[in-house]
Amino acid sequence: MMNSALKELQLNEQIEDLSLAFKEIPRSDHTLTPAELAAFDDLSTTLVVDSVLNFTTHKISRKRRYLYGDEHRMASETMRKFRESQDWTNAIYSFLNMRSIKGFIEKFTFNKQAEFRDHIVRFLNIFSIDAGYTIEECNRYSAEGHKGAKLVATRAWSRGDKIDRLIGVLCSMKNNEETTLLSAEGSDFSVMYSTRKRCSTLWLGPGAYINHDCKPTCQFQSNGTSAHIRVLRDMVAGDEITCFYGNEFFGPGNVDCECVTCEKNKRGKFQLNSDEENQEPEPETEEPGSKRMKYSLRSRV
């Protein structure tokens, strides 16, 4: 009984320390394993992003219950207060003190707890008044069931600018880790292929919400265990932050691409051949037990 009380006291002290000593822009390197990054990301997006958008965004583990009981309402209230007050300490403290979160982090060392805190901070930056971008609902892509998210600029950005508060977190995976962590469908958007390391790389953090466009506004710049976002074309408030996933990501020649540029130019999935132009469109059907098409992987050097 005494040991349990001491552990609870120690955890409470650690949570207080984690809430007081942090950087709004966390260091770019990390020591996370793919499994840890996946779990940290699933929880962080549940707490921060889903609480604002009011639906479940991409997750690596789809079957896990992340929060208990009324904690979804508590998370939403925490984010409402953060967006109004920009009180980082209060938001971090509120999240880490939730029963489900305390139960999750108590098994980790203090250093790992700090890395989990940092991952939450990365997502809080989406709603920072200094971020220069934010997240919005996006209903464009059929692969997401027309229910996803996009990142948009909230101020002007110039070509060559680095979006400091927007980062992707990278973690190289071994073959067995890729098989264990990723579902048979739907995880493609969370993975890149490293041509230099010749392995698949888990790609999470706020940068994972960046959608593809064949004429992108930004580009990924890999830096070890993270990737920064560099502006390719001048942007104004309201412009979407997009990157190029690769020439074959959406099938050969990106034949199934649904980006804004393809729609504008009648390419990708918007291209009609001469036989199709005079035919009635048929409703999309899916055989029982069939799986959505698995896209190729984004590539990085």
Whether pLDDT at 276 is above 50: no
**Sole residue written with tokens 């007050």:** 85
Arch. (CATH architecture) of 9-126: Orthogonal Bundle (1.10)
Closest of 284, 299, 169 to residue 226, by C-alpha:
169
Q: Per-residue pLDDT tens for 84-97? A: 999 999 999 999 99
Angle subtended by helix axes 2-20 and 110-124, to nearest 10: 40
Cα distances (angstroms) measured from residue 105 to each of 50, 228, 256, 275, 290:
20, 27, 41, 58, 37
The pLDDT value given to residue 205: 95
Q: pTM of the full predicted structure? A: 0.86
Q: Tell me the pLDDT tens digit for each residue of 208-262.
A: 999 999 999 999 998 888 999 999 999 999 999 999 988 888 889 999 999 999 9
- The verdict on domain 133-270 having CATH code 2.60.40.10 is no
Q: Residue 194 is inside which H or E element, if any?
A: strand 191-194
The arithmetic mean of pLDDT across residues 52-69, rounded, is: 86
Q: Where are the domains of the chain?
A: 9-126, 133-270
Phi/psi region, residue 182 (left: phi>0; alpha: psi -120 to 50; beta: rest), is beta
**Hey, do 9-126 and 133-270 end up sharing a CATH topology, with the first three levels equal?**
no
Distance CA(243)–CA(119), nearest Å, equals 22
CA angle (124, 144, 78) in 5-degree steps:
25
pLDDT, averaged across the chain = 85
